Structure 1
């Protein structure tokens, strides 16, 4: 057994039966490809921590004196911008014989975009800096579109069922270590305030990480596409993934439509944490120290969840999604009930601790939901069908994010409790819908 085999076997709970069913070329390079995918995903996830639209970029905007109205555009552009175009970019991806080059292109675009943000942070300020960074973030999101579409297809070609969830989990764990380190650095070494030059260097480090992502991914030995990688139904192959084709797929493919509906309802763990941060500030938490604590909590959630949820996703990704959304909804309802008790959280230290624990729980559950739905989508489809599924589901979710995010923001103008309860209610409906999804995981689906 080679060193690569030993390392891969140490990190992974391998599935010999599924590996034996792989094409010979893919099976030969499985350990090396698996480690490279883990490394690339870990580097990308670490870069995401340094360009976090919910933490780092808002701090940068505040430091540069960017108008507050532009700060509210960061998360929508980052999330929806990376999802909405996917159905329309899929025809270009499907023309690529080897999908790893699509991923590499996306990684390079992200590296250039983040490098541009670093330059803007070092040289500009005010409105001009804010507009420039938003434009760079938009281009960054387009690059993320390409990596999102291609990554699942490359993983499906190179890694068997039963091991994909573990790979996602290991990458999440690595990102958690980076987040904890970043949070501790901000908390203890950032001083009273972080300068724009310090944040510019942080962004430059993020750009370097995406260069590393592209280099690592270039070394993946993607197998020659099998004939089964093409859609079996000729009319399906001729589709151009226009809006009408997207809705036709949702109408005709019932299992896929069921998954998209369930995924659209499981947003409680992703959209509620910013409201928890806002609540903590309202209850007297120190903003800079609190934000450092929230980043550390996010890192702990990724560190713990990455190792726990990867194997769980391989056993039943459906149950993992359902459990994560159910717990997150319950936590949101509980924190609203506690915060509504008069004088219960008057002590700023106690309030900060409570909200950081809640934030930890929510981000932990979000890690589970994310790993579960990624693994479910990879396992439910084969070949180019997987690429189309990823693109269409992400495009739909981009639209849903804008709608649900808009509704929750309007409700937050009335009271943050209203927004949180709305998200919790949506999550509970999602629990019911996702529990009815068919099983597709290796330990549950027919072999």
Structure 2
């Protein structure tokens, strides 16, 4: 079967307005982005600040205070620079080059993590691990910024959500395999060499992703001149965009309130660790749960996002909020429930499934929200704003966690309710609008 046939089996769309030559170009670009994004997502399963990296810090004997810095560096570090980087990206006629640079940076950072895991321990290992993670996050910001722009340039509306969905499915299959491998090889010990080998394989995945992505063909476009963003400065430009564009501002607020699905899972893991063992083998079920969520949710969520990414965001957040409330009710009011080891991976699975829905939906929504350089600005400003808001929400939930993970989960549930209300007021985009 040729490239076009494979693509059309994977992605459903109305192609009556597309010539066969145009369909072949879209199929080539779409499949390459599916493969490259899947390879990147494979690496993400290993360089995971919520599961694998905390285990690695523990195994290296690093101070536990460093664990609290993992998620802020990983998440905010990939978001905060984007508004400042957007003018540089906009000056390039070929945005795929930016993505390839970002993938190379992630490969280098992950290789450094593997080297640290294999050769160092103690505080020095922990500090160097955070430095490598910072390089990883900044490199990831380039892929995040350029990748959505390339997707919008090369794949038409009605097909973009399915591209994101299939990438999620393939990464989920690998995550399940990874979780089984960790479960089988880890046993009751925390093995740094196993984690070092996995990190080395993840670095290779980003190298392969860059090679595949290099074949994506963007529409011919000359390098644009300096933009108004550069004239007034990126910070002022970002603030003016948020202040003047009410629809975009509402999306940013909704996305911030939807952090319930992103920030709740680590507290479930923390509750599990408080009642069980901390061996590498116990990490396996959580990694597998993450993979199952991606495998099960990726394809249907991608199609749903192409029909209405707004509704998918809304229902994903609502479900995550309900699960958090029910979980709290069980562990707080049912005696003996905390000792049921299976409840934690099960709740983690459902929360990550909800987050998969929200993530696929918001990615599709922002790509469909605008065209051209305005799309680039939307993506950059939204992610920079989210980096700031993530630090704030993380600081509040982290402070509440001093009272116990239950208090932090309660705060996130309240955020989730507000997020559902705001998401309901968002306008539809694309073919549903």
Quick check: TM above 0.5?
yes
| Shift in Å, 1:27 | 4.8
Per the alignment, residue 164 of structure 2 pairs with 168
| Shift in Å, 1:239 | 4.5
SS at match of 1:72: helix
Per the alignment, residue 282 of structure 1 pairs with 274
Distance in 1, matches of 2:94 and 2:21, equals 14
Structure 1 pair 65–435 and aligned structure 2 pair: CA distance change class (3 A): same
Q: Does 2:255 align with 1:263?
A: yes
SS at match of 1:82: helix
Given that residues 26 and 223 in structure 1 are in contact (C-alpha distance below 8 angstroms), is that contact kept between their aligned partners in structure 2? no
Q: Name the stretch that deviates more: 328-337 or 238-247.
A: 238-247
Per the alignment, residue 216 of structure 2 pairs with 220
Segments of structure 2 that go 5 or more residues without pairing to the other structure are none
Structure 1 pair 341–237 and aligned structure 2 pair: CA distance change class (3 A): closer
Given that residues 186 and 279 in structure 2 are in contact (C-alpha distance below 8 angstroms), is that contact kept between their aligned partners in structure 1? no
| Shift in Å, 1:237 | 5.7
Given that residues 87 and 227 in structure 2 are in contact (C-alpha distance below 8 angstroms), is that contact kept between their aligned partners in structure 1? no
Q: What's the TM-score once normalised by structure 2's chain length?
A: 0.96
Per the alignment, residue 8 of structure 1 pairs with 7
For 1:394, which of 383, 389, 401 is the aligned residue?
Answer: 383
Distance in 2, matches of 1:120 and 1:18, equals 53
CA offsets per residue over residues 281-337 of structure 1, 9 Å max, x none?
334466544421111111100101101100000000000000000010010011101
Distance in 2, matches of 1:50 and 1:118, equals 11
Q: Name the stretch that deviates more: 73-82 or 188-197.
A: 188-197
1:316-327 correspondence runs (5 A):
316-327=308-319
CA offsets per residue over residues 220-239 of structure 1, 9 Å max, x none?
1111138xx979xx984654
Given that residues 18 and 161 in structure 1 are in contact (C-alpha distance below 8 angstroms), is that contact kept between their aligned partners in structure 2? no
SS at match of 2:417: helix
RMSD: 1.9
1:10-89 correspondence runs (5 A):
10-17=9-16, 19=18, 27-89=23-85
Per the alignment, residue 241 of structure 2 pairs with 249
| Shift in Å, 1:217 | 0.7
Per the alignment, residue 356 of structure 1 pairs with 345
Given that residues 161 and 360 in structure 2 are in contact (C-alpha distance below 8 angstroms), is that contact kept between their aligned partners in structure 1? yes
Structure 1 pair 66–370 and aligned structure 2 pair: CA distance change class (3 A): same
SS at match of 2:13: coil
Per the alignment, residue 422 of structure 1 pairs with 411
Per the alignment, residue 112 of structure 1 pairs with 108
Per the alignment, residue 206 of structure 1 pairs with 202
SS at match of 2:218: coil
Q: Name the stretch that deviates more: 191-200 or 333-342.
A: 191-200
Q: What's the TM-score once normalised by structure 1's chain length?
A: 0.93
CA offsets per residue over residues 176-198 of structure 1, 9 Å max, x none?
11111111111122222132222
Distance in 2, matches of 1:92 and 1:106, equals 13
Q: Name the stretch that deviates more: 274-283 or 109-118.
A: 274-283
Q: Does 2:361 align with 1:372?
A: yes
Q: Does 2:428 align with 1:408?
A: no
Structure 1 pair 316–230 and aligned structure 2 pair: CA distance change class (3 A): farther
Aligned length: 433
Distance in 1, matches of 2:18 and 2:235, equals 37
Structure 1 pair 85–237 and aligned structure 2 pair: CA distance change class (3 A): closer
Given that residues 289 and 348 in structure 2 are in contact (C-alpha distance below 8 angstroms), is that contact kept between their aligned partners in structure 1? yes
Structure 1 pair 101–371 and aligned structure 2 pair: CA distance change class (3 A): same
